[in-house]
């Protein structure tokens, strides 16, 4: 797999919702059953979503000449009423979560009506299109784990860092019990907040555990971004960071932080089962590529591997990774179906993931391949990926 | 104290940064030592703050006719350069945290460069003006507690609710130790995220504990908003919610939730010292008024009382609250100095807080009065309030 090419592909995909946007008109008349989105700020009636998955945005801008809704790589013109309020619809969107923004006379701004999420290298608007399977990440009256904001000093970075740690329901009650740990990474242009804020990793786990479908384990969500904060700036299409390629820190830099700082800190701070058999790593997009590289190089440290929309592991990889075949108990690979459609057959992300996972299965490795129906390189694919992956972890 | 009047005053103060805004020009030439604000999104160079406390905002809006920076109740015109980027300065701001927004051709929007905070009844931009005493809420390499996102089912509301719980450093290590609890409330138009996001309550406590200046205790930050979420909408100057006044839920509704749901849930979920001697309540603005009402009515439940910019307790209050004088171990009242300047002498918030606290002291109640220098009804007053209040809590 040519890593540089794949990496650029992932970057472009990650930011494409904003960067490839073009003006467009809606394709037909909307069904008038719009309701306020679940991702709206408290009390806000817009944006709305209808049964087709169209988004209707609205904002007061009485002096503006042009206002647009920018979602899924398309800009939709809004129209102004006599009171100065601009309103307009998008075409139907895929189920799940999408980043979006508004354009007001050439300024790209967050929608003041939405909640904000970190992705596409910025805190900005996001919207939830109700999905047929949304029950698996719904907030229910079941026992809940906690998301803990955890500050720690990293020697390898000589700085304070932050991670979020999910402790499962019962963690504070069963004070002699020790738990396996999943290290779960975000994608390029995202950060340590993504898996809980828009990924709902905590609710997915709470619901799976309540149904007896997954074992309780700890999840650690840290920041795998490969550029130092002082170097960070919003990504644009075709961006390539200065310096050597792939950039230092992309996988190797985070690997050092993970192995030398994060894992020992977590094992010292929580009641973990601190061995290879009870340690998993997974990630989406860039985080999946980091997972692939770090786990192939450290089969003595991780027993369960999950790669969501971030490549796959081939038999050639396995042959070049001594101990991987013998020690790793699970390889899980997933994609959104639209990601596979949108690439040349047989060559998505440097190797057909189905061919690769089949070859691992044939070689006797416990391998799973999952395709999320009708979703792209977006959070609904990754929520579903975690939902399929988690029940397979840490089986006796 | 006429509660309805005071309540309206607090609401107006809370939202005045946005609602009273008027166009204005800067008062003199800015000192050119601007630096990116600490509250910017990663990698963003604007907004900036200079040594005078001026804010310089910047945004690309090539097709716009008018762009303004709206901060501390004043709108400042920005000017466009030949590349379509608008830039402009505010007058010097008070030290500490301020909510702000941009206006683009009549649309009020968050600044896409800033982090976002919940206040003034919306998620929107905030900016930090470096303060001389900012060290007390800085992120340092000291032992850190955690902020935990805690979901629970509330019987009295028949719904899932969320609070944030600060557990002090060492909580997960000293597994036989039990801790006192402070219930700490936000103001009107704010929510359960305020005290940790913009208040830095966790960092204030971590630093005080590291210096040996405060005892470790648990802090519970829940949502005291008196309107149900489905009724919520942005507040405007002069707003008065429909229905009976004061509205049900403002103090009494939250009192029921606090006493019947939150406190029992916290005592069951954490290693608390579950008695009056080890239970405190404090709050800012509306949360201070709730604290006053709830603690006066329940001196058997709370021993320590903190009211930040939210009124004070008079001897008349004490005389009407059986048991309060005997059982309550601390009454703490604080204001920003500008709040006291801006009201009729002797009558800020329904009774001079200095006169009231002096009368309580004379009566033998352990009472403290603190005035934050040169700050208004804003977070720097409340950070300082907590910083003064916390060392006084749960002394043996």
Q: Could you give the CA distance from residue A147 to residue A150 in angstroms, rounded to a whole number? A: 9
CB A265 within 8 A of CB A282: no
The partner residue sitting opposite B66, judged by closest CB among A63, A84, A175, is A63
pTM: 0.91
Task: List pLDDT tens digits, range B62-74.
Answer: 999 999 999 999 9
Q: How many CA atoms lie within 13 A of B55 on its CB side?
A: 37
Strand partners, A149: A164, B147
Residues B62 and B193 in one domain: no
Q: Could you give the CA distance from residue A100 to residue A137 in angstroms, rounded to a whole number? A: 21
Strand partners, A49: A35, A55
Lowest mean pLDDT among A323-332, A348-357, B6-15: B6-15
Question: Residue A235: closest CA among chain B residues belongs to which residue?
Answer: B43
Q: Which residues of B touch A148 (CB under 8 A)?
A: 146-149
Task: List pLDDT tens digits, range B283-315.
Answer: 999 999 999 999 999 999 999 999 999 999 999
- A104 close contact with B: CB closer than 8 A: yes
CATH number of the domain encompassing residue A40: 2.60.40.10
Buried b (16+ CB within 10 A) or exposed e, A46-84: bbbbbebbbbbbbbbbeebebbbbbbbebbbebebeeee
Q: Which residues of A touch B105 (CB under 8 A)?
A: 61-65, 104-105
Q: B365 to chain A, minimum CA–CA distance in Å?
A: 38
Q: What is the mean pLDDT of residues A190-207?
A: 98
- A64 close contact with B: CB closer than 8 A: yes
Question: Residue B206: closest CA among chain A residues belongs to which residue?
Answer: A151
Among the three residues B130, B155, B177, which one is the final residue of a domain in this structure?
Answer: B130
Residues B180 and B33 in one domain: no
| pLDDT of res. B225 | 86
- Does a structural domain hold residue A54? yes
| pLDDT of res. B157 | 86
Structural domains in chain A (count) = 2
Q: Is pLDDT above 70 for A319?
A: yes
Residues B21 and B163 in one domain: no
Residues A70 and A155 in one domain: no
Residues A223 and A93 in one domain: no
Among the three residues B130, B156, B185, which one is the final residue of a domain in this structure?
Answer: B130
Q: Is pLDDT above 60 for A232?
A: no
Task: List pLDDT tens digits, range B83-137.
Answer: 999 999 999 999 999 999 999 999 999 999 999 999 999 999 999 999 999 999 9
The partner residue sitting opposite B110, judged by closest CB among A84, A110, A160, is A110
DSSP one-letter string for B246-259: SPTTTTHHHHHIII
- Does a structural domain hold residue B233? no
CB–CB contact A43 B102 (8 Å): no
- Does a structural domain hold residue A315? yes
Q: What is the mean pLDDT of residues A352-379?
A: 96
Q: Which residue has the higher pLDDT, A76 or B345?
A: A76
For every residue of chain A, which 3-state class applies, written as one string?
CCHHHHHHHHHHHHHHHHHCCEEECCCCCCCCCCEECCCECCCCCCCEECCCCCEEEEEECCCCCCEEEEECCEEEECEECCCCEEEEECCCCCCEEEEEEEEECCEEECCCCECEEEECCEEEEEEEECCCCHHHHCCCCCCCCEEEEEEEEECCCCEEEEEEEEECCCCCCCCCCCECEEEEECCCCCCCCHHHHCCCHHHHHHHHHHCCCCCCCEEEECCCCCCCHHHCCCCCCCCCCCCCCCCCCCCHHHHHHHHHHHHHHHHHHCCECCCHHHEEEEEECHHHHHHHHHHHHCCCCCCEEEEECCCCCCHHHHHCCCCHHHHCCEEEEEEEHHHHHCCCCCCCCCCCHHHHHHHHHHCCCCEEEEEECCCCCCHHHHHHHHHHHHHHCCCC
- Does a structural domain hold residue B235? no
Q: Is pLDDT above 80 for B369?
A: yes
Lowest mean pLDDT among A172-176, A227-231, B316-320, B353-357: A227-231
Q: Which residue has the higher pLDDT, B102 or B158?
A: B102
Tokens of B313: 């307790």
Among the three residues B107, B130, B153, which one is the final residue of a domain in this structure?
Answer: B130
The partner residue sitting opposite B148, judged by closest CB among A41, A104, A146, is A146
CB–CB contact B107 A172 (8 Å): no
* Sequence-ordered list of residues with C-beta below 8 angstroms from that of A265, at least 6 positions apart, any chain: A152
CB–CB contact B141 A160 (8 Å): yes
Residues A124 and A163 in one domain: no
Residues B52 and B150 in one domain: no
Residues A118 and A168 in one domain: no
Collapsed DSSP state (helix, strand, coil) of residue B226: coil
- A43 close contact with B: CB closer than 8 A: yes
**Residue range(s) defining the domain that contains residue B68:** 2-130
* Sequence-ordered list of residues with C-beta below 8 angstroms from that of B66, at least 6 positions apart, any chain: A63, B77, B103, B104, B105, B106
The partner residue sitting opposite A42, judged by closest CB among B66, B151, B232, is B232
CB–CB contact B146 A149 (8 Å): yes
Task: List pLDDT tens digits, range B26-44.
Answer: 667 899 999 999 999 999 9
Residues A204 and A343 in one domain: yes
- Does a structural domain hold residue B292? yes
CB–CB contact B160 A141 (8 Å): yes
CA distances from A378 to A52, A336, A374 (A): 19, 8, 11
Question: Residue B58: closest CA among chain A residues belongs to which residue?
Answer: A107
Task: List pLDDT tens digits, range A45-71.
Answer: 999 999 999 999 999 999 999 999 999
Buried b (16+ CB within 10 A) or exposed e, B337-359: ebbbeeeeeeebbbbbbbebbeb
Q: Is pLDDT above 90 for A10?
A: no
Residues A8 and A121 in one domain: yes
Q: Is pLDDT above 60 for B341?
A: yes
What's the angle, vertex CA B34, arms to CA B30 and CA B38, rounded to 5? 135
Task: List pLDDT tens digits, range B162-180.
Answer: 999 999 999 999 999 999 9
Task: List pLDDT tens digits, range B256-266.
Answer: 999 999 999 99
CATH number of the domain encompassing residue A381: 3.40.50.1820
Give the single-character DSSP code of B123. Answer: E
Residue A215: CB atoms within 10 A of its CB come to 17
What residues of chain B, 189 to 208, have a C-beta less than 8 Å from chain A? 191, 196, 202
- Does a structural domain hold residue B234? no
Interface test with A, best of B75, B81, B112 (most A CBs within 10 A): B112
Residue B16 pLDDT class (50, 70, 90 cuts): very low
Q: Is pLDDT above 70 for B245?
A: no
Residues B100 and B179 in one domain: no
Gyration radius from chain B CA atoms? 21
**For chain B, percent of residues with pLDDT exceeding 70:** 84
Residues B301 and B193 in one domain: yes
Task: List pLDDT tens digits, range A67-118.
Answer: 999 999 999 999 999 999 999 999 999 999 999 999 999 999 999 999 999 9
- Does a structural domain hold residue A362? yes
- Does a structural domain hold residue B334? yes
CB B359 within 8 A of CB B304: no
């Amino acid at each position: 797999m040519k890593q540089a090419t794949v990496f650029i592909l992932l970057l472009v995909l990650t930011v494409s919702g904003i960067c490839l946007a073009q003006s467009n008109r809606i394709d037909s008349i909307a069904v008038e059953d719009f309701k306020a989105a679940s991702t709206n700020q408290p009390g806000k009636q817009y944006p709305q979503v209808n049964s087709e998955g169209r988004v209707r945005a609205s904002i007061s801008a009485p002096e503006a000449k042009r206002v647009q809704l920018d979602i899924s790589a398309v800009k939709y013109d809004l129209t102004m009423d006599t009171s100065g309020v601009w309103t307009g619809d998008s075409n139907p969107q895929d189920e799940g979560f999408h980043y979006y923004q508004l354009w007001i006379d050439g300024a790209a701004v967050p929608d003041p009506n939405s909640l904000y999420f970190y992705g596409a290298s910025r805190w900005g608007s996001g919207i939830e299109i109700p999905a047929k399977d949304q029950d698996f990440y719904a907030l229910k009256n079941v026992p809940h784990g906690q998301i803990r904001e955890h500050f720690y000093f990293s020697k390898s970075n000589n700085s304070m860092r932050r991670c979020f740690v999910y402790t499962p329901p019962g963690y504070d009650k069963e004070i002699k019990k020790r738990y396996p740990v999943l290290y779960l990474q975000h994608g390029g242009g995202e950060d340590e907040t993504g898996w809980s804020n828009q990924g709902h990793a905590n609710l997915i786990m709470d619901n799976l555990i309540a149904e007896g479908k997954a074992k309780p384990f700890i999840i650690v969500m840290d920041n795998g971004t490969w550029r130092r904060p002082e170097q960070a700036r919003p990504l644009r299409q075709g961006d390539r960071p200065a310096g050597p390629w792939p950039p230092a820190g992309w996988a190797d830099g985070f690997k050092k932080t993970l192995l030398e700082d994060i894992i020992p800190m977590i094992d010292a701070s929580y009641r973990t089962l601190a061995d290879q058999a009870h340690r998993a790593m997974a990630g989406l997009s860039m985080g999946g590529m980091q997972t692939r590289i770090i786990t192939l190089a450290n089969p003595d440290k991780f027993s369960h591997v999950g790669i969501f929309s971030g490549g796959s592991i081939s038999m050639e990889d396995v042959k070049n990774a001594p101990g991987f075949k013998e020690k790793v108990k699970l390889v899980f690979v997933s994609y959104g179906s639209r990601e596979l459609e949108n690439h040349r057959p047989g060559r998505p992300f440097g190797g057909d993931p189905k061919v690769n996972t089949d070859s691992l299965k044939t070689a006797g490795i416990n391998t799973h391949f999952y395709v999320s129906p009708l979703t792209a390189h977006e959070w609904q694919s990754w929520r579903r990926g975690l939902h399929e992956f988690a029940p397979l972890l840490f089986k006796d």
